[in-house]
Structures are given as C-alpha cells and as structure tokens.
Chain A
Amino acid sequence: MKVLLPLSALCALLMLASLLIGPAGAGLGGSLAALWSGEGALGLVMREIRAPRAVLGLLVGASLGLSGAAMQGYLRNPLAEPGLIGVSASAALGAVIALQTGFATAFVLALPIAALAGAVLAVGLILIMAGPGGGSLALILAGVAISALAGALTSLVLNLSPNPFAANEIVFWMMGSLADRSWLHVAIAAPFMAAGAAMLWGAGRGLDALTLGEDAAASLGIDLPRLRLRLVLGVAAMVGAATAVAGAIGFVGLVVPHLLRGAVGARPGRLLAASALGGAALVLAADIAVRLILPGRDLKLGVVMALIGAPVFLHLIWRQRRGR
C-alpha cells in the first residue's frame, strides 16, 4: 500500500498539469476558475477540450497498465503485454477500415465503434481457438495468429488505398493520440474499461497462486478456465476501448508492470493496482510532453511513448543482466 499512495498523488498532480497546459495560455488561478464556472472561451476550452483529454489519458493509461500487469501475471512472463491476445491489432483494423471506407466521418463515434467491433470479433475468435481448457499456451498462439492476421489486413487496406489522404489519416491515427477528444469518447470507453477493470480486479488471487505454476494453482482451488476467461474478457474490454479512443499506444503495458514489480514485492496480485496507477501517470506525463516539446506540430502520443519506453526497457534489461 506504500506504493499506491505516492502513485495516486502523482496521478492527481499530472491530471492537474494536464488541465493547465495547452495553447490557450492562462494562469493557474484563471484556468481553475474557468474550469469551475465554465464561463467564457477559457471555460469552454477547460471543460470541453482539456478536461476530457486529461480524463481520457488517465483511463487509457490505467487500462494499459492494469492489462499489462494481468497478462504478465497470467503468463508468468515479464515480456507479456496486453497486445499479445490480438485485441489491439484487431481494434486498429476496425478503425482503419472505418477510416478507409469513410464510415468514420458518418458520426462522431463511428470510428471508436468500428474499433470496438474489431476487438469483439478478436475476442470471439480467440476464445474459440484457445479451446475449453485452462492452459495458457493455446491462448498465446491464437493471439499471435490473430495479431498477425489483423496486421496483415491493416497493411492490405493501406496497400490498396486509392486515396492518399485516407492512407495518411490512417497512418497518423495508428500512431496514437489523445488530442481533440471529447466527452463522447470518454463516455464510450469508460463503461468497457470499468467492466474490464472489475473483471481483472478479481483475478489477483488466481494470479498470485499461478506463481507456483498451473498445477499447484489448480490444487489451491483456483478455477483456471474461469481465470483465463476473466483475463481475456477483462484485457480485451480495457485494451479494445483504449485503442478505440486513443489509437495504438505501445510500451505502457510492457514497461509499467516491469518498473513497479520490485516495489510490490513482485506479487502479481498487488501489481495490478500499482500498474493501473503507474500506467495512468505515464500516459498523462507523455501526453503533457507531447504538448510541451513541439507545441505546434501535433506530435503523436504513441511515438513519444515508444521513444520513452524503448530506452527505459533497454535500461531495465541492462540492469537485470548485471544482476540488479
């Protein structure tokens, strides 16, 4: 619990910073007053642009962090990440098809809905492929296959795209961003994320038991097929929703659990809550960095995240190799 408090405080601080930073420069007091009253142009900016962006950053980061910790705990592998079951690739495919066909411009939420449909399709496919047992190997193999297929189909759409503007739009969308999102995006993603979080929250005991291996966990009374179902549905709901509203943002689900593992005594159950907070903090920080580094250039969140994530990961591997 000594980790959760500082992480919560960090998240609150970054939320506040995210609210205060933007092209419409205004003082601390003025911004908060405008957020409170909602009056004037600044009030509109605070309430309809910055507030949803900050909330979405928090939700997306928490989803990716929590899903990453759950996947690593379930697969007993620190290299596992939430994209492993193919949901993010399939959600991206749904969004890409929506962008290419023009369905995305039909109404505001057309793109996230298409992405969610892609995610749901992937979950259905993965549950059929992985079979009725409780094993994890079939799950990974099915996930890798579905990821590859969704990636190939995304490339096919880009390949055959007759319209360079659509192709451009697709490429930019896939880089991941939280810019120009509205409360509608929050409203469509939040219920899925809440349902996913509720499912993964209950998995902590099972993940702890899995430290001893699948056989020992089963003998401790853990229902492995149910745990796997919980995990697939929970990760899919959270990552599918996150991808639908923010595009593909990598590295959060991989790096955050890794960074925080030592702080929770490596216990997979405890890592869940810590990773959710850590993921939220990381995405909020990256989204602030995006606005500070190149304010005029619409730097993409996914790009910055990979630029931060990859060196951090290399550093971790380096440290681990030298025996901590």
Chain B
Amino acid sequence: MRLELQDLTVRRGTRVTVDRASLSAGPGEFIGLIGPNGAGKTSLMRAALGLIAASGSSSLTALPPARRALAAAWLPQTREAAWPVTAEALIRLGRIPHARPDADPAHIEAAMARMGITHLRARPVTELSGGEQARVLIARALAQDTPILMADEPIAGLDPAHQIGAMATFRTLADEGRLVIASLHDLGLAARHCTRLVLMDQGRIAADGPPAKVLTPALLAQVFGVQGYFAETPEGPVFQPLRLTAP
C-alpha cells in the first residue's frame, strides 16, 4: 500500500504548521522524518492520518476510519497508558480494528518477541519503566499489523541498545514490505537505518531523498544550524553532528 500526500496544509489559528507538503512513499521504505522542533513533523503525520483537519489530500483520509485503522498504525509521542492493565492486554488493543480481535494471538506474540518484552507480558504497564513502556507501546502498534506504520519520536528516551534494536526492527518491517515513517531527532541513527530521509523546516518539506543527499552541509547549516561529519563506511552511512554554525 502506498501513501500519497498532495499539498497537505495544516493551519492552527493563523499559523501554518504544515505548508503544502507533498510526499509519495511505498512498501519497503523506512522514512526518517527529521527537522528542528516545531518544523511540523507531528502535524504532517497526524494530518496524513486524518487526526487533525487539513486541506490538500492524503490517500489515508480518503479511506473510511475503520479501513484506515487496518491500513495505518499510529504511535503518538505522548506515551499514554491510563490503567494498570497488563502489557499483554495493552498490546492486544492493537487488534481492535480487526474483525475478531482475539482470533489470532500470533500477532501479539510476534510483536512482543520483536520488541523483546515477552518477559514483561504479565506486568501492569503502569509499573514499567519509561523505556519499557515505550517498547510495549511500539509492540501495540506492531500488533495492529498494518501495511503502514507511523511513529512520533518512537525511540526518544530509550537506552542505546533498545534505540538500535527499535530502529533495526523498523528497518526489518520495511524490508518485509511495509512502509514505516518515524519522526526522529537522532540524525546518526536516522542516517544509518532509514532508507530515505524527509527534512522539514517551518512546515515545508525542505529536502527528500537518501540520507547522503539530505544530510548535506548546506541543508544542515540552513535548517538545523549545525555542522556535522558524514561518511559512507563499510558499516553503512555514519553521521555525527559536531558544532553549531557561527551565528
């Protein structure tokens, strides 16, 4: 399933948070949505999912809500788990859009195995650490088993091992034929794991392409105000931000 955004525009009062964003993405891609705070990354994804009003078109909002929930899973940035339900029960919520939510426990087991949280299954989520909660919530989105997965800063607050683990999982999902879009602030991990980067700046899509084409000195200075080191190594692309550009 492809995601097509055409001139998507979001207005919040008089401010334009997303400005005529167009994007076409398909199976097999792991897109890192990068940009400074307030660039419009979250708004772009929420508008694409039809969670906020927007002008322009999104191939997802064209679907009725029940079909949309089978097409795309959404992992919000705020990690909410209101009640002390067990991790397994929380992950099972991802099956709600499906005709028979309890019919296929395999998806729940697979999601838990992918995120390495099978040992937490019987623990109340409210008693887990922040990082463990984050992984349980990612597993919930995986259990929804949709061709498209959108995640808002899914790896923020995870330890390095689990950051790499989550990024590798997203890449595996893409390699299996899904489309994964995640907003990220760690440009190094984005460069290394994503197949494509979309750089947003002040509501607009400023650059779109493979990591080497997006993380250029000129764009980094212009959008983030930083200088960095980028190299293609035998290990894959490596990026490290180094210093602020002179004001």
A interface residues (Cβ-Cβ under 8 A, vs B): 76, 205, 208-213, 215-216, 218-223, 261, 265-268
Interface contact A213-B83, CB-CB below 8 Å: no
Partner of A265, one of B65, B89, B96, B140: B89
B76 contacts partner chain A, Cβ-Cβ < 8 Å: yes
**Contact of A220 with B97 at beta-carbon distance under 8 Å, contacts A211-B81, A266-B83, A267-B85 already known:** yes
Q: How far is the CA of A211 from the CA of B85 in the complex (A)?
A: 9
Interface contact A216-B80, CB-CB below 8 Å: yes
Which residues in B have their C-beta under 8 angstroms from that of A210?
Answer: 82
Q: How far is the CA of A216 from the CA of B169 in the complex (A)?
A: 21
Residues of B contacting A: mostly: mixed
**Contact of A219 with B49 at beta-carbon distance under 8 Å, contacts A267-B89, A268-B83 already known:** yes
Which residues in B have their C-beta under 8 angstroms from that of A216?
Answer: 74-76, 80
Interface contact B83-A267, CB-CB below 8 Å: yes
Size bracket, chain B contacts? 20 to 34
1/0 per residue B81-125: CB within 8 Å of A? 111111001100110110000000000000000000000000010
B192 contacts partner chain A, Cβ-Cβ < 8 Å: no
Q: How far is the CB of B151 from chain A (nearest CB, A)?
A: 11
**Contact of A215 with B93 at beta-carbon distance under 8 Å, contacts A221-B66, A266-B83 already known:** no
> Which B residues, 189 to 208, have Cβ-Cβ distances below 8 Å to chain A?
none
Partner of B68, one of A209, A211, A221, A266: A221
Interface contact A212-B89, CB-CB below 8 Å: no
B20 contacts partner chain A, Cβ-Cβ < 8 Å: no
Q: How far is the CA of A103 from the CA of B86 in the complex (A)?
A: 53
Q: How far is the CA of A221 from the CA of B65 in the complex (A)?
A: 5
Closest chain B residue to A211, Cβ basis: B82
Interface contact B80-A212, CB-CB below 8 Å: yes
Interface contact A220-B144, CB-CB below 8 Å: yes
Interface contact A265-B86, CB-CB below 8 Å: yes
Interface contact A261-B74, CB-CB below 8 Å: no
Q: How far is the CB of A223 from chain B (nearest CB, A)?
A: 6
Closest chain A residue to B49, Cβ basis: A219
